[in-house]
Amino acid sequence: MFREGGHTTASVTGNRRTVHTTWDDGSELVEEYDVTTGELLARKRRTKSALGALSPWEHLAGEKAPAAWSPDNGTLRESSLNPLFSRKDTHDCFQWRVRNLGYPPENYQVSIDHSDRKIVIRTANKKYYKRFNIPELDVLNLSLNDGALSWTHANSTLIISYAKPVAVLQAEAKEAEETRRLRAQQGDVECKQQ
């Protein structure tokens, strides 16, 4: 689904299978899967600008690694109490988690903006607002369905689920089969130096 037209390589390190796809324009996609279950752990991509500079990684799935403190970046950093937005899919649904939201469940409003093709999270007290799309549906040009969206709140975490359409399940099954067929190199893989 995301790898069409690119050159794909795979490597296995520990219990993770890393699939790295590059395109002629310099764009990259890195996916990490659990070796035993085949579950997607992380998916991130980056592109090159017109001048050739690499953009920062855009995390499509999985949690972004916490930024390590560096004196070059200054002495300020985000609070660990700020809301953390991450995506962790299950087999049959897309799932997003917003941690550190301690408001009562009746405070949340989760809806779909059909004109912009995005899911919208807002709170009645106007303390949190987030709009996000589902890249898989954009790639397959599928519209969002109100009936597929559900959410729950527990342990200061808002969990939003969107049931995967049949077309997405078929595309993921095809992609999983292609990933299994890739010959993976074991251990540390030699990387091209720039």
Break the chain into its structural domains and give their ranges.
7-63+82-185
User: Which amino acid is present at 104?
Assistant: P
Q: Average of pLDDT values for 48-70?
A: 77
User: What pLDDT does 50 receive?
Assistant: 77
| Residue 155 to residue 160: CA distance in whole angstroms | 14
Kindly report, residue by residue over 3-44, the tens digit of the pLDDT.
Answer: 777 788 888 888 888 888 888 888 888 988 888 888 888 888
b/e code 17-54 from CB counts within 10 Å (16+ = b): bbbbbeeeeebbbebbbeeeeeebbbbbbeeeeeeeee
d(CA 170, CA 172): 5
A 10 A CB-CB count for 94 gives 22
Interval 109-138: pLDDT, tens: 999 999 999 999 999 999 999 999 998 888
pLDDT-wise least confident of 69-73, 92-96, 141-145: 69-73
- The CB-side HSE value for 11 (13 A sphere, CA atoms) comes to 11
143-178 pLDDT, tens digit each: 999 999 999 999 999 999 999 999 989 988 888 787
For residue 194, is pLDDT > 60?
no
- At residue 187, the pLDDT reads 47
C-alpha span between 13 and 105 (Å, rounded):
41
pLDDT-derived band of residue 49, with 50, 70 and 90 as boundaries? confident
The CATH number of 7-63+82-185 is: 2.60.40.790
Residue 84 to residue 82: CA distance in whole angstroms = 6
Q: What are the counts of helices (DSSP H) followed by strands (DSSP E) for the chain?
A: 2, 13
Confidence of residue 66 (pLDDT cuts 50, 70, 90): low
